[in-house]
Amino acid sequence: MKINKNIKNIFSLFSSEFIARLVGFIATIYLARRLGTDNFGILNIGLAVLNYAAIFSASGLNMLGTRKTAERVEGDNAILNKLIISKFSLTIVISIITFFIVTFFVHSEATSEIIFIYLLYLLPSVFIIDWYFQGKETMGVITVGRSVGMTVYLIFVLLFVNTSADIISAAYAWVIGAVVNAIILWIFLTKRIKVKLFSIKIISSFNYIRESVPLGAATIISQVVIMFPILYIGAIYSEEQAGIYSAAYRIIILLLVADRIFSTMFFPKIVNLITKRSEKLESVFNSILKIITFFSFYIGFVSIIFADTLVITIFGTEYNNSVFIFQLLIGYFILTLINSVFSFTLIGMKEEKSYSVAMFIGMIGFFISLFVLDNLYSITGIAISLIIYEILTIAYMINKVNKIILINLKEFIPSLVIFAAIFILLIIYIFDFSILAKFVIAILLLIILFYFCNIKKKEIDLIKGVIS
């Protein structure tokens, strides 16, 4: 019975992530086509500022809430009260700080207005308690809340955004979607427990903020890096260029649902082996590394092959300049998936500090490379900086993991990198293949990558074992 429940929870968590991203992506396509590159850029600048504000408002509190709920040491109402008061307090402070920053540094009235509307999202986000249901292992509730919330957002976008003049409606739709998500979660909560809000001393909740900071450090660093290019491009270049970059990045966000799939599939396996101090840890780790490397390169290479068709079909010819940016960001996508193998292994070893240090080193490298490469290659250089961020992060984590687990990188990485370099050179810079030829290449890539990643029977058996 326990196995069935775990499988159900994994499926529910993945479903909520996938449905939310898919519905959000449909809305993104519609908005990109209706608003044009300028206004689409403004919208994404607003979302980037909101993401920054939301990250610092949460500051690891959601992760802490999930852990506290799962531990069941404190009562549900005590946890709910402390989390909500803590998040609300941080939200007020961060909102005020953001308001003054935007007022003094954002000179475009249109952009400022969109940012201020998006910031309204922070209030309902305080009451989005998916962390509670994750701690209770009732992922189906999270699926319903996210799916309905995003669907309401999409419906409002379709109804009220018809021309570029309706950009404000798109921002309000995002806030309304969050309100609906919060309401649904609280309806389920009231059916589960008798809620008693503000039943504790407010001062006692502030300990949660202190506890949450170490948990949220890595997430804050990651999001600061990921969202920075959009803000930087909008400030240094133009809203139009921010829109061009955002179109490419939005497809990457959808593809990164694969990261959630692999983490959900393999993270419990690694943690279990680490806990048991199993002799199989090294073998299983290296097999997982091969599997994820294989799939990340295959998805990435196929995306590069069909990049022009994909971007133009989705967003229209107005976003033709997004094609090359998208192809570059595929490097970031591939490395992010491979990065997850090392990150969830370090977390399983309770080396969260090493994980945060790796992210910090990557962030420093990102900002240095961004300002250098921006002067040399403009927006192209900014996309390359994200790849450098992932490379530095992985390099540090490999060094840490390799002290405990012997990583067999020499077995397949050098030959794979050489093949990747030749492949990218041929596809992007030399040949212009027909659609039929691209499909043939995509099929052949399965065999070629299967060989270069050295996939054997034990890797296939591992996949079967995880799925079954």
- Asked whether residue 248 is domain-assigned, the answer is no
pLDDT at 3: 45
Residue with tokens 């990747």: 420
Residue where a domain stops, chosen among 187, 215, 243: 215
The verdict on residue 159 lying in a domain is yes
Q: Would you say how long the chain is, in residues?
A: 468
d(CA 141, CA 130): 8
> pLDDT (tens digit, 0 to 9) for every residue of the chain, 468 residues total?
344 455 555 555 566 667 778 888 999 999 999 999 999 999 999 999 999 999 988 878 888 888 788 777 677 888 888 888 889 989 999 999 999 999 999 989 999 999 999 999 999 999 999 888 878 877 778 888 988 999 999 999 999 999 989 999 999 999 999 999 999 999 999 888 887 766 556 666 677 887 777 777 888 888 899 999 999 999 999 999 999 999 999 999 989 988 877 776 777 677 777 777 767 888 888 888 999 999 999 999 999 999 999 999 999 999 999 999 999 999 999 999 999 889 888 877 878 788 889 999 999 999 999 999 998 888 999 999 999 999 999 999 999 988 888 888 887 788 888 888 888 887 776 667 788 888 998 999 999 998 888 888 888 888 777 666
Those residues whose C-beta lies under 8 Å from the C-beta of residue 265, and which sit 6 or more positions away, are 10, 466, 467
Asked whether residue 245 is assigned to any structural domain, the reply reads no
Domain-ending residue, one of 184, 215, 246? 215
Cβ partners under 8 Å of residue 272, min gap 6 = 278
**pLDDT at site 2:** 45
Residue 421's φ and ψ, nearest 5 degrees, are -60, -45
- pTM of the shown model: 0.86
- The pLDDT score that the predictor gives to residue 238 is 92
Residues 398 and 455 in one domain: yes
> Could you tell me the residue range of the domain that residue 266 belongs to?
256-467
Could you tell me if 19 and 154 lie in one domain? Answer: yes
Say what the pLDDT of residue 222 is: 87
Residue 230 lies in a domain: no
Q: Are residues 6 and 130 in the same domain?
A: yes
Q: How many domains does the chain have?
A: 2
The answer to the question of residue 172 being in a domain is yes
Same domain, 452 and 396: yes
Report how far residue 327's alpha carbon sits from residue 82's, in angstroms, rounded to the nearest whole number: 45
**Is residue 332 located within the same domain as residue 207?**
no
Regarding whether 454 and 385 lie in a shared domain, the answer is yes
Output the pLDDT for position 71.
Answer: 73
| Helices and strands: H and E segment counts in the chain | 19, 0
pLDDT at 120: 96
Residues 146 and 269 in one domain: no
Distances (CA, A) of 343 to 167, 172, 337, 340, 385: 38, 36, 10, 5, 20
Look at residue 323 in the predicted model and tell me its pLDDT: 94
The pLDDT, as a whole number, for residue 103 is: 93
Look at residue 225 and tell me if it is in a domain. no
Last residue of a domain, one of 215, 247, 268: 215
Could you tell me if residue 238 is inside a domain?
no
Closest CA relative to residue 400, chosen from 348, 364, 334 = 348
Q: How much is the pLDDT for 429?
A: 67
Residue 237 included in any domain: no
Shared-domain flag, residues 126 and 265: no
- At residue 272, the pLDDT reads 73
Residues 177 and 264 in one domain: no
Query: Which amino acid is residue 390, in one-letter code?
Result: E
pLDDT at 233: 94
pLDDT at 7: 53
